[in-house]
Structure 1
Amino acid sequence: MTLFTALFPPEDVVAELHGALRPVRRAHPRLRWTDPGRWHVTVGFFGDTEPAEPAEQLAGLAGVTAPVLSLRGSGHFSRGDAAGVLWIGVAGPLDGLGRAAAGVPADWRPHLTVARGAPLPRVDFVGREWTAAEVALVLSRPGADYVVLDRVPLTTPNG
């Protein structure tokens, strides 16, 4: 099982991206497309571990300002095999969140994974803005749905 913290985009943002990817999915049917219900932006990664007290992984996030984000552009991560990862970028002020969250790698590049395989297309996408209102602590098991163990709200300017 894998443990990580994540931002989950709101349903309207997911629906907008899912619709924009429809022609790309038709043009690249051999790619392994990820389920939009699992789309998230990983904030911290704790790897294959048993969950400790959830507060430990979420410590430091209370009081962090909720960033206004948008999904835009795309890129690829290569892997050792012939397959790679197609991701959609995340634009917005994430530095404060990255500094406050536990488990954030030094080379953190906020993104949302949408497909795996090869060859990977380029996706020109600019999505609507949304406010990341909370960070979730998530448990992932192979072949199973994500389990949200805990959540911490981020501070919005209105309270």
Structure 2
Amino acid sequence: MRLFVGVLPPWRACDELARALRPHLGAWPGLRWVDRANWHVTLSFLGEVPEEIMSELETRLARAASRHASMTLSLAGAGAFPSPHRARVFWTGLYGARLPLARLADSLGAGARRAGVAQLDRRRFRPHLTLARARAETDMSDLVEAFEAFAGTSWETDTVHLVRSHLGPVVRYETIAEYALAAPAPDGRS
């Protein structure tokens, strides 16, 4: 099964983002907008994972997550991959505890490798939430500029999700496990 580990923004953050996006949707008909039900921030893309390592994978992901504290995050700004002028992906950024979030992503990836995940994506972690994709390179610089002032309300995240991707004409994501961020916070909160 095709899996990733990610953060799912709460509904109120998604509501805010949807309202901010609404004026831009009709102006960019060439983009395929990601369905709101699929909005997530990927921490570790695992690829195809064989059923026989699932038990070990879940144990290692739970252990990795438990070593990290909950964190305050928010969605803000905009960007495009690989660049705004030659883009295929339009996104909003993830802000807040970026260094702890990067460490969490590294820990989850290490746990997945130890469990035997072979297709682990090893690209540098760039926290973002994908909003739209283009089939061909598109100049999205006006869209990025128009949306870069977006700043969502922050939220506390205390779990990460193991998510299965169901590919096909309609992409669908299914959470198959949740892992608590259980370590005490650096400031003594728990």
1:55 to 56, 59, 62: 59
Q: Does structure 2 retain, via aligned residues, the 8 Å contact 1:61–1:97?
A: no
Q: Counterparts of 1:6-155 in structure 2 under 5 Å?
A: 6-51=6-51, 52-53=54-55, 54-78=58-82, 84-100=88-104, 101-103=107-109, 105=122, 107-117=124-134, 118-120=138-140, 121-122=143-144, 123-124=147-148, 125-143=150-168, 144-155=171-182
**Which range moved further: 96-105 or 6-15?**
96-105
Supply the distance in 2 between the matched residues of 1:71 and 1:99 (Cα, whole angstroms). 19
Q: Which runs of 4+ in 1 moved over 3 A?
A: 155-159
Alpha-carbon distance change, 83 to 106 in structure 1, aligned in 2, over 3 angstroms: closer
Structure possessing the higher radius of gyration over alpha carbons: 2
Deviations 1:97-123 (A, max 9, x none): 432432274610000000011332212
Unaligned runs of 5+ in 1: none
Letter in 1 for 2:7: L
Q: Using the aligned pairs only, state the percent identity.
A: 34
**TM-score under structure 1 length normalisation:** 0.87
Once superposed, what is the RMSD of the aligned Cα atoms? 2.2
Q: State TM-score, norm by structure 2.
A: 0.74
Structure 2: runs of 5+ lacking an equivalent: 110-120
CA distance in 1, matches of 2:20, 2:166: 29
Contact 1:58 1:137 in 2 (8 A): no
Count of matched residue positions in the alignment of Structure 1 and Structure 2? 157
Larger % of helix: which?
Answer: 2
Structure 2 distance, partners of 1:110, 1:145, is: 21
Tell me the SS of whatever aligns to 1:60. Answer: helix
CA drift at 1:83: 5.9
Give the aligned residue type for 2:179: V
Distance 1:105 1:99 in 2: 14
Aligned equivalents of 1:107, 1:146: Cα separation in 2 = 23
SS in 1 for 2:152: strand
Instruction: Say whether the 8 Å CA contact 1:70–1:92 is kept in structure 2.
Output: yes
d(CA) in 2 for partners of 1:65 and 1:35? Answer: 30
AA at the equivalent of 1:85? V
Structure 1 position 93, deviation (Å): 1.0
> Which one is further off, 138-147 or 51-60?
51-60
